[in-house]
Copies of this chain bind each other. A is one copy, B any other.
Amino acid sequence: MRNFIYYNPTKVYFGTGVNSQVGEIVGGEFKKVLLLCGGGSARASGVYDDVTASLRAAGVDFRECAGVKPNPVVSKIEEAIGIIKREGLEAIVAIGGGSVIDSAKGVSAGACYDGDVWDFYARKTKIARAMPFFAVATLSATASEMNCTSVIINEALGVKTGLTDNALFPRATFLDPSAQFSVSARQTADGGIDAICHVMETYFDGTTGVELLMEYAEGLVRSLMELIPAAIRNPRDYDARAQLAWASASALNGTTWAGHSGRGDFASHAMGHTLSVKYDTVHGESLSIMMPAWMEYVRADNEYAFTRFARKVFGVISPDDEASRGGIAGMREFFKSLGAPTRLRDIGVSKEDLPELADMTARVPIGVLRKLGREDILQIYRAAF
């Protein structure tokens, strides 16, 4: 087990009806806030109305910045920062899924900074101060509602990159599972795949002496594999939606990586991000393709974990070498059963693009279990084809 610092100060209000408490909680401290939203699903589901009604009732004045896209871009963050500075706003209320909340984190950092907000993502400077922000989570996937990471695309540079800083935890998060009854089967699957992959990124990173955390991770994956289909079969099953939401938050809120090397491997995420930049691939689908291909490539580097995973999650009983392959095959089959793509060709990537994808991904070093150079990355894209 490695040395670590565990820290997660976000207060989570979880359950039916919590969105109508937003005004009271936010209004206790702030009177003029920015409302950051996505493309309209929060309006359709009624969450937008609940939150704005509660803000009005609490006497909280708000300005709106809508239209954050699924693969969020830095230009939108700059737009929101502009509104905050012009209007002298005091805090941010983000209503949406991971894209909106990730964007809110960028806005939070940029609102208290005179330079270019991309400076933080480019590691040119550190966050000295961030504007308090609140999250109303309408989609369970990224766990952004309960961590301090923001993943953003810079369209001009063609880069998707993450920023992690303790200043970027939501002050509070409101999570009403019943607000997710209207989330489509496709989005439910994509979000669940993201959560499963978050757990696996940490699980397979090669840290030893963490059987306690492996037990926890295996339980999370087994649970997610029950909960995702349950929520798809019956979109209004409250307990399925609630447990899926909490499992997704738990998958990347710090509880899985305490004692691990950093936060996990995340090479699959890096290779998937390149797909999102180039083809606007949905995050979950970038992972259902790249994660199994990565697992096969690095399997021999962590035979213990890959074998254990196969046995504990899929009940595979064959000998070790075969078992570890069985676990990977099982994972790919599960993704397929959710209707997710598991090959690059499934999303229309052409074979000629692979060297460019490898070049784009290899701009920064990736991998923890195994450090991957451009040639490794190209081989994994080829295997994923």
Contact = CB atoms under 8 A, between A and B. Distances in A.
A243 B259 CA distance: 9
A87 to B, nearest CB: 30
Interface string A217-234: 011101100110000000
B211 A226 contact: yes
Interface string A293-336: 00000000000000000000000000000000000000000000
Interface stretch (A11-19, A59-67, A97-105, A365-373): A11-19
A279 interface: no
Nearest to A255: B255
Contacts of A246: 1, 212, 258-259
B209 A258 contact: no
Given A215-B223, A222-B215, A223-B211, A5 B1 contact: no
A329 B306 CA distance: 34
A258 B15 CA distance: 11
Contacts of A3: 14-18
Contacts of A216: 216, 219-220
A242 interface: yes
Given A4-B15, A219-B219, A258-B14, A209 B242 contact: yes
A161 interface: no
Contacts of A211: 223, 226, 243
A41 B210 CA distance: 28
A275 B7 CA distance: 36
Interface string A5-49: 111110111111110000000000000000000000000000000
A7 B1 contact: no
Contacts of A4: 14-15
B218 A212 contact: no
A227 B243 contact: no
A113 interface: no
Interface residues of A, number: 42
Given A216-B216, A226-B211, A259-B242, A5 B16 contact: no
B219 A215 contact: yes
A2 interface: yes
Residue among A210, A219, A238 with the highest chain B CB neighbour number at 10 A: A219
A280 interface: no
Given A1-B238, A3-B18, A219-B218, A243 B13 contact: no
Nearest to A166: B11
Interface in A261-314: none
A372 to B, nearest CB: 28
Interface of A: 1-9, 11-18, 177, 208-212, 215-216, 218-220, 222-223, 226-227, 238-239, 242-243, 246-247, 250, 255, 258-259
25 contacts: A1-B15, A1-B243, A2-B15, A3-B14, A3-B16, A3-B17, A5-B12, A6-B12, A6-B14, A7-B11, A9-B9, A14-B258, A14-B259, A208-B239, A209-B243, A211-B223, A211-B243, A212-B227, A212-B246, A212-B247, A215-B222, A216-B216, A216-B219, A216-B220, A219-B219
Given A6-B14, A7-B11, A212-B247, 14 more contacts: A1-B239, A3-B14, A3-B17, A5-B11, A5-B12, A5-B13, A12-B258, A209-B243, A211-B223, A218-B219, A219-B219, A243-B259, A246-B258, A255-B255
